[in-house]
Every structure is written in structure tokens, then in C-alpha cells.
Homo-oligomer: A and B are copies of this chain.
């Protein structure tokens, strides 16, 4: 391997000078600069990142913890971040927890050992253990998707989104509306969205049954099963169902169709997420589109600011959403 010493020798200067040329610091004469550049060009020398990091304590790598690679949500978010980071020479180290809560903490530790400069966590829960780990983190952490005290975060207004969707369903004449959610440990997706649904239903004085609130685990199949349980346990016919995620809505949609029912005439279906599939099914799914790419961009910007020491204080950024009205309601 070719090192800075080789370059220095070949160019007839000290390695100090070579370092100056590479990093554009200090005083270097044009003559010396040119000679060094030439040698670097000829040899194809590339500085060792490890040696560099060992001295500077910087890696220019941001670790990103995803709940699941390959969901529409993840990819949009990552694309947004990439845009910002690439422009300033940062790279992204992606890891996926596959929705395993414990792995969220594990990966947080692992990434710190890899000495990334910062970590962006797309969080699925707000457990104390997780919060503690973030607090003791040696590198700055930015969270997407959950509101956490004293941690800079980018969030969506899940409560408002769920409210708006529920209102639309009611406006369209649906009254007996069920809900498919997820575990409430996931504050944003599990609790806030459900609360939005419950509150609006109550405000309209609409009847609700325990059986109408089922939980899934984000998967399509779990949506299918939840819908099945709901219909079986309900005291009468439902005329609508609102799922906390598009994938679960898809499962419900599948079950309803399998029962020979017509969407939306017999039962309306709505989701959140604006997944790609949601456009193509028939009737197309009414859903809510979050600005995931924007969340990626914002989180990256916040990270960069924190890295430059601009903000010590926690910062919240709430992003917009918009309701995509299609044919399933």
C-alpha cells in the first residue's frame, strides 16, 4: 500500500507538506503543490481513512438505523438523506433492525463503536431503555418518527393525520368504523393514530366496540388476520375500517374482498403511508402521504447542524402530510 511517506519521498518534500496539499491548509508554494499533486496523480494515492480518523476523531460516516430496509417509507427517507449528505462528502452506513426492538439498542451501540460521526434513528418505540441509550451516546443522535424529550427529532403529526382520515370517512357517510393499529409502545403509529380515530368518533357521538379495535404487526398478513377477527367478533356489520398503515390496510382489503364484499359500498377501507401498491389495487386505497423524503432531508440537515455545534438544544421539526383521496372510501 502506498502511503503519505512514499508521496513525500517521491516529491522531495516532507510529509507535512503533502498533508497540507491534500487538506488545503497552511502555506504551500505553488511549486511544491504542483510536484505533490503530480506524484499523487501518477501513483493514484488515496489517504488512509483509518489513520486519518485515528487522529481527527472524525469519520464522515453517519449511521442510519432503519426498522426495515425496503419499505417505501425507508427508501424515501434514505433518499432524502443521501441527497444532503452526499453533497457534503458524508457517507451513510445503513443497518436494519427488522422491527426487532432490542436490535434498535444493539445497533445504537454497534454504530458508536464503528465510530460514526452521528446516528439517525428511525424509531419505532420510545422505551426508557432506548432513551437512556441515546442519552449516553458518544455521538449525536437524531430521531425520526417519534417524539422524544431532549432529542432532536423529525416527526409527523400522526394525531392530526388520523383525525383527518376519520373525519373524511364519517363525512362520506360511514358510521360503524373499525380500526387496525399496532402496539402502543410505538407512540406515533400505535398511540397517536389510534387516539385520533377514537377522539373523532367520540366527538361525533359514534358507537364503538372493543372488537372494532384490533392490532397487527405492520405486516400484510397481520392486517388480514386483524380484519378477520374484527368481523367475526363484531356485534353487527361494519361499514368501514381504518388501518394505521397501508400494508395492514392491504391485508384488510384482501380479507374483505375474499368475503365477497364490495369496497367501499359494503365496507370502506383507508390506510396511512401512500405505499406504491395502494395506487394499483382496485378500488385504489385512500391513504395519507407523509413527506418521507423531506424527513430524510430535514434529519440530515439537523445532523449537520449539530455536528457543527450549532445547536446543543433539542429541536423538533413537524412535517406535513396530505390526504390522498381515492376510491376505497
Given contacts A50-B50, A50-B115, contact A82 B96 (CB under 8 A): yes
A23 at the interface (CB under 8 A from B): no
Interface members, chain A 64-107 (any B CB < 8 Å): 68-72, 74-76, 78-79, 82, 91-96, 98
A313 at the interface (CB under 8 A from B): no
The contact of A69 among B70, B110, B254, by CB within 8 Å, is B70
A126-144 interface bits toward B, Cβ cutoff 8 Å, 1 = contact, 0 = none? 0000000000001000000
Q: How large is the interface on A (under 10, 10 to 19, 20 to 34, 35 or more residues)?
A: 35 or more
Copies, count: 2
| Residues from chain B with Cβ under 8 Å of A61 in the complex | 114
| Residues from chain B with Cβ under 8 Å of A96 in the complex | 78-79, 82
A123 at the interface (CB under 8 A from B): no
A46 at the interface (CB under 8 A from B): yes
The contact of A49 among B92, B115, B250, B280, by CB within 8 Å, is B115
Given contacts A46-B113, A50-B50, A94-B94, contact A280 B70 (CB under 8 A): no
Closest B residue by C-beta to A136: B44
> Is B46 a contact partner of A54 (Cβ separation < 8 A)?
no
A281-315 interface bits toward B, Cβ cutoff 8 Å, 1 = contact, 0 = none? 11000000000000000000000000000000000
A277 at the interface (CB under 8 A from B): yes
| Residues from chain B with Cβ under 8 Å of A202 in the complex | none
A203 at the interface (CB under 8 A from B): no
Given contacts A78-B96, A96-B78, contact A115 B54 (CB under 8 A): no
Closest B residue by C-beta to A75: B70
The contact of A93 among B48, B93, B138, B280, by CB within 8 Å, is B93
A234 at the interface (CB under 8 A from B): no
> Is B91 a contact partner of A48 (Cβ separation < 8 A)?
no
A53 at the interface (CB under 8 A from B): yes
Least Cβ distance of A99 to chain B in Å?
A: 12
A30 at the interface (CB under 8 A from B): no
> Is A114 a contact partner of B49 (Cβ separation < 8 A)?
yes
Which of A69, A96, A253, A282 has the largest number of chain B CB atoms within 10 A? A69
| Residues from chain B with Cβ under 8 Å of A220 in the complex | 276
> Is B280 a contact partner of A48 (Cβ separation < 8 A)?
no
Interface residues of A (CB under 8 A from B): 1, 46, 48-51, 53-54, 59, 61, 68-72, 74-76, 78-79, 82, 91-96, 98, 110, 112-115, 138, 220, 250, 253-254, 276-277, 280-282
Q: Sorted from nearest, which 7 A-B pairs have the closest CB atoms?
A: A70-B75, A94-B94, A277-B277, A50-B54, A50-B53, A69-B75, A50-B50
